Every structure is written in structure tokens, then in C-alpha cells.
Structure 1
Amino acid sequence: MTDMLNEVQDIINIPSTTLRILLAHFNWDKELLLERYYEYEGNQERIFADAHVISPFRSAEHCKQQTSCSSISCEICCSSHSASFMTGLDCGHIFCKDCWATYLAVKILDEGMSQMISCPAFDCRIIVDDSLVMQLIVDKHILQKYQHLMTNSFVECNSLLKWCPAPDCHHVIKLEYKETQPVKCDCGREFCAECSEPWHDPVKCMHLKKWLKKCDDDSETSNWISANTKECPKCLATIEKVGGCNHMVCRNQSCKHEFCWVCLGPWDPHGASWYNCNRYNAVDARKARDIQERSRQMLQRYLFYCNRYMNHLQSLKFEHKLYARVKRKMDEMQCLNMTWIEVQFLKTAVDILCQCRQTLMYTYVFAFFLERNNQSIIFEENQADCEKATEMLSEYLERDITTASVAEIKQKVQDKYRYCDTRRNVLLKHVHEGYDEDWWEYFE
């Protein structure tokens, strides 16, 4: 922030407090600020008015109220104070320092504001500059919060800066270019530069967002209710059929409506034909059945992909145990006259296994939104090959590695993880080629 302020200040000679408000108004885009500044040359009052700041070129005696009184009444607390205890902005509104401090503390702590705190005077939109805040706030906790909010706003406005999403990590990542790409923080967290979620190649950010929302909210609960229950035609209470009889009686004590489960019509006209509904082929009945069948199919489709997604996610969570097992095996190999470098192939194998599981996990998200066509069939074959190779590598590392000889371990592990890595790259290459060639059609 300081570097940018100094860089712009070298070009246009404006006080740093005013310049910071201008940059914040333009979301810290210095090129846009300079473009507008020189675009309004000769009428630069407009750019200051848009940013809700008093122009520094305006004469000071026209901006501040001048008074020779030894005692001034504060418009907030209505108490009289000495002129030295009163302060304000260039808009001319002055208040006592106690009221200023309380007002700023409420804005910072309760409302989470930093760059857009306006003058407390009624209907005055002039922005409070940071130098005044630093003078009036003495509580270190409030000042720290204010500086954190300022920094956070600067990072969020800058498309090339990203907070690390890891818990308790306060690092900021500076990107070289704006694009969906994996970035890795010094804390070890790898995430997407676009959406800050864990790196999710090959699925796009927009589809991942829809998937996570679908997993988090109650949409699938609604699908289950729609697929497995019906509403009472009279009171609209949700009813689940737990027996074979189609003669339904609503258990709502104020309703107790009797109806047919098949056609949802009143039960009386059905007579004794409980299982041969005479309205079964009616248009409304067919429509209700079609809606329920579609809902049931959507639920089954979601569960198919969700189960496989969650399976790989669960396997990833257990890989720390595999790392520990492999670490013990690496120590054993070093005791058998192998160097530290020579045993690193085991760690490489687990790293590739985790990469394959993570890729496969997100391929099921990609497949959930994918319409079936010739390219999707090729994708599924590549996915199956990669998944089969991944499971073989996982099984070998978890079971066979403990019984095999050292020479056999090295040869088999290297062959398996190289094949896994090759299949993973083939899978990703095909998906990205489909993005470039516009092969993919999405299911809505």
C-alpha cells in the first residue's frame, strides 16, 4: 500500500491521506485513478467529489470553520469544550475528541468499516482520513483492528493478491498474472487463485461452487422428500408411504383426509378396488408420476457421483497414516545401506497417489455436470484407467510393501506411480483439450 501511495504521489502531488481515499475509491487501481485524474484536468473537483473527499486545492479558510471562541459546544454530546479539544475534517464539522473516538470505535469494531467511515455530521458523506483515526484512537486493540481492515480491503481489491485460506495463516500471495491457477503458500496450503478453494483441476470454479452449495444446503433433502413422499391433497402435510396399501389417511388431527396414494384423489369413488385405481391413467396422475420419477432419478444421479467424490475425499484424509507407514519403511531401508536420497521414491509415490485421488475426486464433480456425448465416453474411460491404477498403487503401498524385498519394492513402486502419473496427465489433458475445443456440454 505504501509503495503504491508513494508511486502515485510522485506523479500527482496530493497529500497521502487524500490520495489513499482516492485509491480506495478506485479499488486501488492506480492506472484507472491516473486516467480519470487527467481526464478531468481543469475540472478535478469532480473526481474528489465522487470520492467524497474535500479537494486539497481548495483554500483552507474556506474549508474549516474559524472561531475565536474559547469554548465550543459539541453537536453530539452538547457539552462545551475548549477549542483545542475540538477537531474535525475539512468539511467544517467539528466535534469533541471523546465523541470522535467513540464514533470511530463503533464503526471499526461493530460495523467493520475502515476506508469508508464518513463524517458523523448529519447527511455529510466526507470520508474520514486515516491520519485523523490514528490521532484519535488510543486503544491498541482498535488500532490493530483498523489496520487489519485497511489491509484486508487492499488485498481484496487487488486481483493479484490473495489471502491464504488456511486457518490461522496470515500470509498474502502475490500472483504474477490473473488466471485460474494453483498457488502454494509457505504454510503448505495449495489453493485456486480464482476461488481460494483447494486446487480443483479439472473442474471449473463455477461448477465447483454449485457442487459445494449442493452438498452444503438442503437441496438433496428436498429431492429425497420429493422422491419418497407426497403431500396430502387437503392440508398439504408431507406423507411417507410405509405400507403396501394405497388407501392413505392423513394423520394430521385437524385433517384426517382419505385419499388414493396413486392418483391423490378422494378415496370414496375407488370403492373396493384398492389396488386398481380407476383414475390411474388420468393426465394429472401421469404428470404427478413423471415429476416424482424425474426427482427420483435426479436424486440417484447425485448420490452416484457424491458417493464416489466422498470416497476419494475420505481416502485423502487417511493418507497421513500412509505417510507415517512409508516413513517407517524408509527408515528400515536406510538401515539396509540405502541412502536418504535413494529411499525418496516412496515419498514420491505417496505424493502422486494423493494427487491422483484429488484429481479423481474433482473429476466426479466435473462428470456430474457433464452431458453424455462421444467425448464424455472417452473421458469416462480415461477416468476408469486412472482410478484403477490409483487403487493398485494404494493397495501396494498399504499392504504388499511391508512383505516385499527392497529391490522388488523399488522397481514395483516406481513402475506403479509412473503409470498413475501418466494416466492422470492423460485424463487432465483430455479435459483441458475439451475446454479449448468446446467439446463439453453441461447438464443443468
Structure 2
Amino acid sequence: MDSDEDFLSTVSSDDDIMLDDSENDDISNGDEFDDAFDEDPDDEPDLGLQKQKTPVAYDVGYKVYSPGDIQKQQEEMMNEVNMILEMSKEDAAILLRHFRWNKERLIEDFMDNSDKVVEAAGIKIREEGEAARIQCPAEGCSRIIDARSLDLLVTPELSGHVKVVPRPDCENAVECGIKKKELDKVVPTVACVCGYRFCFGCILSDHQPAPCELVKSWLKKCADDSETANWISANTKECPKCNSTIEKNGGCNHMTCRKCKHEFCWMCMGLWSEHGTSWYNCNRFEEKSGTDARDAQAKSRVSLERYLHYYNRYANHEQSARLDKDMYTKTEKKMVQLQSASGMSWIEVQYLNSASQALQTCRQTLKWTYAFAFYLARNNLTEIFEDNQKDLELAVENLSEMFEKPIAELADSKLKVDIMDKTAYCNKRRLILLQDTAENLANGMSFKL
């Protein structure tokens, strides 16, 4: 029997399908699929899933499978191929792996040219259709390994539209019906029953509302040396004569290049000899060469300041997320303390757990809104997005302040109601932001990547 990973290999072409997530409070099995992203049924493995429209723009249907589910589906496919093509289950398994578990395409190609298919798959089938002959890959060894033995050695393989949950302690897989070519218009976030949320498109953790390509550009920008170069550009200038990089280390604007001895004005980059003794008037300020240098310096500074504006806010929420890794333990402890102090039941203190989850989820979304905003082209939609972002951020900060109150204050019934109301409001504002951006992405929202 094939292992799970073979059945769930990653998407490799525009025809491959991807997955997205549900925004229900309880983790959804995601049985529903959006008709807008249906593949041609002839190009899909038959997993017996009903495809129905999902209720909101940012929500794309998906389904979670346990290892047992995957094994059962693989068995069913092998049995069907075995029956139709009259070959052993071992041969059927090898061919299905070769076709990435696309049963329909396998059968169609096999009917057209069976010899070509068998050769491409690397098996040898005897005339009676008996077991496949798989040679040991070790150098100098000619022994044949049967498929059952091979199953114990190979890594699992999965079909292109099913992926293993990228969490070390989770063995489940998730299926989604989103095409790779739709990833610029959809952010396919999915949630396993274990609680882990990730993007089916790039396997990173949940990054709604930012599309995968934008996330890739942002992470690269943050990781490489581009911003170091921006700092240098904003704080240094090049000698107008030899282009050596010069940093101003004093108050005087009369600069002399140590390399070529060229003298120039730091303010306008013009010849110092033309300034005379009145450097502060900068009478050559409009000189073409000086103006060009000044404009380049100003643009670099503005670019750096703009990047830092978004990066600092992105990093702040990212830091909060790191600090919140043990939020569940802290919240549980706080709930126990509140129980003791107020006499509330365990059910009655669950509002703190709901608030904690809302804070973590909303901060994750807010983090990525700043990467989203950095690349967002300025137009009439930008102000709406920024208003939604501001409303969510304000709601999160208010809830966070309430959540951090001492136990004695949390026991107050009025504060409990306020926290519950603010939790609901945070979740609502997040969904409004995601809905709005999802609709705009689907309609071709533009970015400057």
C-alpha cells in the first residue's frame, strides 16, 4: 500500500489544484467547493467529494483526511484500475503513482498506448498481468523488489490537490479545489482538525489577506540586504566625480573626496568652487547635476521611511504573535484563577479563551495587512482597506487591554460582558476586512511588486 506522501505530492503546474479555508469558529471539514474553481472532472482524481458553493468570498472549501482515509481511497483506486485494465494491484499502484493518482488520465492514456504508459512508468508487466518487476536501486544489485516491499521503503506520495499538513505532530492531509493560476486572486487558507491553519498554496502559516506572491516578495525584501542598501543610500552620497561612497561625519557641507580630492557641496552636490564663501546660500542648488543627486537622495529617504512604516507595524504584530505562543497556557491559568476568585464555573470562564483566540487570529491577520498595504497600489480602494485595517487594529488593542486586566477586575460581570462584546466585534471586523479584500482581489486589485 502506498504511503500518504506519494498520494499528496505538491502542485507543479497551472493545472494543479490548491486548497483554501473556512472561517467558522469551529474548524470545518470543508466539504464544500466553490464552483468557480472547479477543474475539468476528467483531470481530477475521483475522491467522491461534492462540490458546492461556499458562502463568502475569502472562504474556499476544503476537506481534511486522516491517514486511514488516504489509504482507503488509494485502495479503492487500485481496485478500480485493477478491474478495468486487468492488472495486479501492485502494477495499478505503480501506474497511479506515476500519474499522481489521476485515475481518469491513467486509464485514458493506457487505452491509447499501453506500451508507452508502461515504459514511462518504469514497470515490466508479464503477459498474464502478474506482479511488477522493480529492480533494487543499489549499485551492482540486480534483485527484484515486489511492490508490497517497496511500499515499506518509499516516502508517501499524494495527488496534486491534496497536501500533508505541515505540522510535525500531525499526520493528516488536506484537499482543496483551488487552481495554482488562481493564487493571485485567492488566498487559500485551510485549517486541519488539529487546529493548525496554513496556506494551501505555499504551505506557509496563515497569511490572509496577502496573496502568496506578495508574501514571497515581502519576506525576501525583509530578509535580504535591500534595506541595508536603502539605509546607505539615505545616509550617504556618491562623489560626483569618482562615484565613491561618502558618509557625512561633520556639520560642514564642504566635502572633499578622499579618493579623488574632488570638492563639492553636500547640500546640492554642485562644485564647491562655485559656492564661494556663501555655502549656506547654496547658490548652485538648481544646477542640473546637483538637482538630480538631491532628488535621488530624497527619493531614497522617502522609500526607506515608507518601508519602515509598514515593516515596524508588521514586526510589532509578529513579535506579539511570538510572545503569544504560550498564550493558551497563560489563558488556562487565568481561567482557573478566575474560577477560584469569582465562583464561576469552567463554562462561564470560557469567554477568556474565546478572547485569547480572537486576539491571536486577529493579530496574525493584522500582521499581513501591513505587507499587503506596502505593495497596494494607491487608488480609491486603498482608503477603504486602510479604514478596515484601522478599525480592526483599534478593536484588537481595546480587547487586549481588557484581557490583561487583573483577576479581581475580570471577576466583574460588566467587564466580562464588555470582553465578550469586544471579542465578537474583533472577529466581525476581521471578517469584514477579509471579505472586502477577497472581493477586490477577485476583481483584479493591483499591486506594485
What is the deviation of 1:434? 1.9
TM-score by length of 1: 0.70
Matches within 5 A, 1:312-327: 312-320=317-325, 322-327=327-332
- Corresponding residue for residue 45 of structure 1: 115
- Corresponding residue for residue 197 of structure 2: 190
Counterpart pick for 2:405 among 399, 410, 415: 399
Counterpart pick for 2:220 among 213, 231, 235: 213
Paired AA for residue 101 in structure 1 = A
Kept in 2, the 8 Å contact 1:169–1:187? The answer is no
Paired AA for residue 341 in structure 1 = I
Q: Write the distance in 2 (CA, Å) between the matches of 1:204 and 1:178.
A: 13
- Corresponding residue for residue 63 of structure 2: none
Counterpart pick for 2:339 among 334, 339, 348: 334
- Corresponding residue for residue 147 of structure 1: 154
Q: Write the distance in 2 (CA, Å) between the matches of 1:285 and 1:21.
A: 70
- Corresponding residue for residue 239 of structure 1: 246
Deviates more, 1:320-329 or 1:372-381: 320-329
Counterpart pick for 2:138 among 101, 107, 114: 101
What is the deviation of 1:276? 5.8
What is the deviation of 1:393? 0.7
Kept in 1, the 8 Å contact 2:165–2:192? The answer is yes
What is the deviation of 1:420? 1.7
What is the deviation of 1:342? 1.4
Matches within 5 A, 1:344-363: 344-363=350-369
Kept in 2, the 8 Å contact 1:159–1:178? The answer is no
Secondary structure of the equivalent of 1:373?
A: coil
Change in 2 beyond 3 A, CA 1:292/1:57: farther
What is the deviation of 1:103? 6.6
Matches within 5 A, 1:414-429: 414-429=420-435
Kept in 2, the 8 Å contact 1:232–1:257? The answer is no
What is the deviation of 1:417? 1.1
Q: Write the distance in 2 (CA, Å) between the matches of 1:274 and 1:133.
A: 86
Q: Write the distance in 1 (CA, Å) between the matches of 2:308 and 2:134.
A: 62
Paired AA for residue 11 in structure 1 = I
1:293 has 2:366 as partner: no
Matches within 5 A, 1:17-416: 22-40=95-113, 44-49=114-119, 51=120, 53=122, 56=125, 101-102=138-139, 131=146, 147-148=154-155, 151=156, 154-155=157-158, 158-166=159-167, 168-169=168-169, 171-178=171-178, 180-185=187-192, 187-232=194-239, 236-251=243-258, 255-260=259-264, 261=266, 274=279, 280-320=285-325, 322-335=327-340, 336-399=342-405, 402-416=408-422
Kept in 2, the 8 Å contact 1:202–1:432? The answer is yes
Change in 2 beyond 3 A, CA 1:301/1:238: same
Change in 2 beyond 3 A, CA 1:300/1:238: same
Change in 2 beyond 3 A, CA 1:88/1:411: closer
What is the deviation of 1:357? 1.1
Change in 2 beyond 3 A, CA 1:277/1:330: closer
Change in 2 beyond 3 A, CA 1:234/1:46: farther
Deviates more, 1:342-351 or 1:315-324: 315-324
Change in 2 beyond 3 A, CA 1:322/1:17: closer
Deviates more, 1:382-391 or 1:264-273: 264-273
Q: Write the distance in 2 (CA, Å) between the matches of 1:130 and 1:163.
A: 27
Kept in 2, the 8 Å contact 1:17–1:129? The answer is no
What is the deviation of 1:304? 0.6
Secondary structure of the equivalent of 2:246?
A: strand
Deviates more, 1:393-402 or 1:298-307: 393-402
What is the deviation of 1:196? 0.9
Deviations 1:124-180 (A, max 9, x none): xxxx98649969xxxxxxx98x523xx2xx23xx222223323x4362413153465
Gaps of 5+ in 1: 60-86, 90-96, 105-118, 120-127, 136-142
Kept in 2, the 8 Å contact 1:353–1:390? The answer is yes
Change in 2 beyond 3 A, CA 1:327/1:15: closer
The root-mean-square deviation of aligned C-alpha atoms, in Å, is 3.6
Secondary structure of the equivalent of 1:33?
A: helix
Change in 2 beyond 3 A, CA 1:48/1:405: closer
Secondary structure of the equivalent of 1:175?
A: strand
Secondary structure of the equivalent of 2:313?
A: helix
What is the deviation of 1:273? 5.8
Pick 1 or 2: higher relative contact order, CA cutoff 8 A, min separation 6: 2
Paired AA for residue 333 in structure 2 = R
Q: Write the distance in 2 (CA, Å) between the matches of 1:331 and 1:31.
A: 56
Higher alpha-carbon Rg: 1
What is the deviation of 1:291? 2.8
What is the deviation of 1:266? 6.6
Kept in 2, the 8 Å contact 1:234–1:257? The answer is no
Paired AA for residue 138 in structure 2 = A
Percent identical among aligned pairs is 41
Gaps of 5+ in 2: 3-73, 180-186
Change in 2 beyond 3 A, CA 1:52/1:416: closer
Q: Write the distance in 2 (CA, Å) between the matches of 1:88 and 1:424.
A: 54
TM-score by length of 2: 0.69
Deviates more, 1:412-421 or 1:255-264: 255-264
What is the deviation of 1:429? 2.0
Q: Write the distance in 1 (CA, Å) between the matches of 2:338 and 2:123.
A: 73
- Corresponding residue for residue 49 of structure 2: none
What is the deviation of 1:191? 0.8
Aligned residues: 364
